Chain A
Amino acid sequence: SAVISQKPSRDICQRGTSLTIQCQVDSQVTMMFWYRQQPGQSLTLIATANQGSEATYESGFVIDKFPISRPNLTFSTLTVSNMSPEDSSIYLCSVAHEGNQPQHFGDGTRLSIL
């Protein structure tokens, strides 16, 4: 399966700041997604990153808070804007070749907001 690299792997940020997380895949993939996993919880889909167009956000997530870019088929970024302690979480990108295929995950970005 594809090798998926996320940067940074972890960060500690001040409230009110923004952080951009990068997801790089070693091969072209059709689908890229961003998830959040809060402590003790399962994964929640934030949005589907669409190549060349605006991301598709799930209920409860908005573009102003989580802007996403996907300039090509191997790269995407997620920005967590105006961070608060409630944004402390693990953020994961995942990829799939087709919609019904299993997704494969990057190793996550552990974000703590002070």
Chain B
Amino acid sequence: RKEVEQDPGPFNVPEGATVAFNCTYSNSASQSFFWYRQDCRKEPKLLMSVYSSGNEDGRFTAQLNRASQYISLLIRDSKLSDSATYLCVVNSGYSTLTFGKGTMLLVSP
């Protein structure tokens, strides 16, 4: 089983749609969790950290289910500018980040 697994997509959605990405991780000792966004030919940028209680930042909502080792990202009211690859990232040790391969999102007019 891969350490961090994501559906590669692409997810093609129209503007204004709601889209959800899922991610599973294999290391039950993982301590912290993040979603990063990577635009084509750019570096990854932190989108949000993911907390056990769930957290929301504007149109973005992240959820963590430790029992199922599952992380989700929900994007509401999709914008064209949301088109990117979304990376699920897990910190399994003091400093070791493990990246999923990413889910590509394409938002069309």
| A residues apposed to B, CB below 8 Å | 1, 31, 33, 41-45, 48, 92, 96, 99-108, 110
Contact = CB atoms under 8 A, between A and B. Distances in A.
Contacts of A103: 46, 97
B97 A100 contact: no
B87 interface: yes
Interface in B60-94: 87, 91, 93-94
Contacts of B100: 42
Given A45-B96, A101-B32, A105-B45, 14 more contacts: A1-B46, A33-B97, A42-B87, A43-B87, A43-B99, A92-B43, A99-B95, A100-B31, A100-B32, A103-B46, A103-B97, A106-B43, A107-B42, A108-B43
Contacts of A48: 95
Interface string B29-60: 00110100000011111100100000000000
Contact of A99 (B42, B87, B94, B101): B94
Nearest to A41: B101
B46 A102 contact: yes
Given A99-B95, A100-B31, A100-B32, A42 B43 contact: no
Interface residues of B, number: 21
Nearest to B100: A42
Q: Which of A44, A99, A110 has most chain B Cβ within 10 Å?
A: A99
A42 to B, nearest CB: 4
12 contacts: A33-B95, A33-B97, A42-B100, A42-B101, A43-B44, A43-B87, A99-B93, A99-B95, A100-B94, A102-B49, A104-B46, A105-B43
Contacts of B41: 110
